[in-house]
Amino acid sequence: MTSPITSFEEACRYLDDLQMHKIKLGLEAMRSSLAALGSPEETCPAVHVAGTNGKGSVCSMLRSVMSTAGYKTGLYTSPHLSSVRERFRIDDHYISEADFCRHMETIRRSLDGRQITYFECTTALAFLWFAENGCDLVILETGMGGRLDATNVVVPLLSIITTISLDHEQYLGTTIEEVAFEKSGIIKPHVPLISGVDDQQAQIVITRTCRERQAPLMERNKDFWLAREDNGPWLWKSAADQVILNLMEAEQPNLWQVDNISCAVAAAVQLRSSGFTIGPATIDTALAGSTWPGRMELVEMPLRYLLDGAHNQAGVDCLLSSLPHYRYRHLYVIWASMADKSYGDMLNDIGRVADVLLLTKPDSERAAEPGDLRSQLRCDQSREVQICSTVNEALELVQKRAQIEDLIVVAGSLYLVGEFRKLVVGEVVP
């Protein structure tokens, strides 16, 4: 597109066309593009968050805390569920169509024939929008990996690595150590790092990188804890200063959130050393109201849907460990996967607990065919398997058969969750 971008629809088409440019990991193109835009990434203090799972939830929680504390807080996440505008947020407001269009045109003009990827473009747009609005803090979620991710052009106040497990093996490596090396690429000299990583081999890589770069390291369950005694409130404690926070409202049936909450609180406490004023009551209030669409999201309409973007083995394991905390008569699972994912084991794991498994395909060229999914199922799996050619067909079938006492899990792909959520709940961005 060589003509000016004058509408939101044109901006989206321009952005979508960039998907033809294959992912090329590296920071040179990103740095050149930002320099041409006046280096907006240098304007606002940042928190940089990487991790295989949980990073979006931690980003959302920390954004809620900082906004509740009175700071204008930008949040950049990916991917989106149904609208690209979901990726860009300041406090409780998403980017407007007009601002999205205007900044996209600014980027188009500045490129002067240079090629950038979809994610590099959205990252540049986020920096422009945050700088224009004078954010007190911006929270940046990596797209993939960390070392060569387009967001890794900042020198943040604080870095966070949530979890490390295998995902995107073709880009990040086939061993935990290789993935940890890529994620550890966000660690900057002398910049504190919060680690929520459980895997011992991954943590060895992180610890070594922090030591080499003289980055202070705070590890979950070593330097800070979140625990609950009997039926009392959740208590967060830091080994360094013994800060205790009551998180009574942060009780959720999905216990995997406890680890994310712990990292988000640790980040808020650490930001105090950078001059931010954040009290325990503020953190408690903010976390009680924090939600993250499409990630262990319970929707009652009146049928009960549990929407979760679990698309790797670690994510599916977390989903499965949460299911016993929900009451239901029958479990329906609507599942889809991307064809480039190793989905066989995940699908069999989820099929083992499903009373009815509905295999479908979201509107994506990358999506696996339902028949191919079916071929990966072992004969001893779920009691009933249904093939649905579209997400809408899966929704119609489950609405005809499920009762209010049942639970309907939608998982396997954020593309599926986004399309399904739009049909049932509506757009995330009004």
For 240-330, where are the alpha helices, taking DSSP H only? 257-271, 280-288, 313-322
Pairing mode, strands 234-238 and 224-228: antiparallel
Q: Which CATH superfamily is domain 8-288 in?
A: Mur-like, catalytic domain (3.40.1190.10)
Distance CA 58, CA 265 (A): 9
- This prediction's pTM: 0.91
pLDDT above 70 for 1: no
Band the pLDDT of 21: cuts 50, 70, 90. Answer: low
359-398 burial, b for 16+ CB within 10 Å, e for fewer?
Answer: bbbbebeebbebeebeebbeeebbeebbbbeebebbbebb
Higher pLDDT, 98 or 239: 98
Please tell me the predicted confidence (pLDDT) of residue 165.
82
Q: Residues 134, 42: contact at Cβ < 8 Å?
A: no
Inter-CA distances, 143 with 87, 101, 189, Å:
11, 22, 22
Per-residue pLDDT tens for 77-95? 999 999 999 999 999 999 9
Among the listed ranges 149-163, 248-262, 399-413, which one has the minimum average pLDDT value? Answer: 248-262
pLDDT above 80 for 255: no
Q: Residues 423, 394: contact at Cβ < 8 Å?
A: no
Locate the domains of the chain by residue range.
8-288, 297-424
Q: Which H helix or E strand runs over 139?
A: strand 137-141
Mean pLDDT value across residues 175-182: 92
What is the C-alpha end-to-end distance of the chain, expressed in Å?
28
- Among residues 207, 55, 205, 69, the alpha carbon closest in space to that of 137 is found at 69
Please tell me the predicted confidence (pLDDT) of residue 310.
87
pLDDT above 50 for 253: no
Please tell me the predicted confidence (pLDDT) of residue 85.
98
Distance CA 226, CA 224 (A): 7
Distance CA 84, CA 87 (A): 6
Backbone angles phi, psi at 86, to 5 degrees: -60, -25
Mean pLDDT value across residues 164-170: 72
Distance CA 135, CA 231 (A): 39
Using DSSP, state whether 261 is helix, strand or coil.
helix
pLDDT above 60 for 374: yes
Please tell me the predicted confidence (pLDDT) of residue 423.
96
| Fold category of 297-424 in CATH | Protein-Tyrosine Phosphatase; Chain A (3.90.190)
Average pLDDT, the chain: 91
Backbone angles phi, psi at 69, to 5 degrees: -75, -5
